[in-house]
Amino acid sequence: MVQFQRTAQLDAAFAALADATRRGVLEQLGRTDASITDLAERFDMTLTGMKKHVGVLEDAGLVATAKVGRVRTCRLGPRQLDEVTAWINRYRQMWSARFDELDHVIEDMKQKEKERAQR
């Protein structure tokens, strides 16, 4: 059950990250905590629109909010984000390493074709 909840939360996290505004919000919160009003202004959105985005991020465990007086402050929920990025990063590293090798193979091929053309 715990495993299932974790997977469900990861799925929610990926869905949450599929939106450019929400990725922007995470990036912004990575720099500093912000209120929903701050975020709405920064991303040129209505308060209602931003509340929705923050709600999706909060459901996914990517963002935590706390209400202080009349202001709701948002900050990153760090652990879940690490889980999401860790896997994507490993995947990217693998492809990046492959493609960097492919660059060498391609340079070799170009060099050989050049030599052949000069002959």
Partner 1 sequence: MKNETRVERKSEREIVITRTFNASARIVFEAWTKAELFRRWWVPKSSGITLLSCEMDVRRGGSYRFVFEHAPEPMAFFGRYLEVSPYSRLVWTNDESGDAGQISTLTLEDHGDTTRIVLHELYPSAEALEAAKGSYDGMPESFGQLDALLAG
Q: Contact positions toward partner 1, by CB under 8 A?
A: 7, 10-11, 14-15, 17-18, 23, 26-27, 30, 81-82, 84-106, 109-110, 113
CB of 10 to partner 1, least distance (A): 8
Q: How far apart are CA 8 and CA 60, in angstroms?
A: 9
Provide the minimum distance between the beta carbon of 54 and partner 1 in the complex, in angstroms, as a whole number: 17
Task: Report d(CA 84, CA 63) in Å as an integer.
Answer: 13
Q: Min. distance of Cβ 39 from partner 1 in angstroms?
A: 16
Full strand arrangement of the beta sheet holding 34-35: 34-35, 71-76, 63-68
Q: Are 64 and 76 in contact (CB under 8 A)?
A: yes
Measured from the CB atom, the residue of 17 and 39 that comes closer to partner 1 is 17
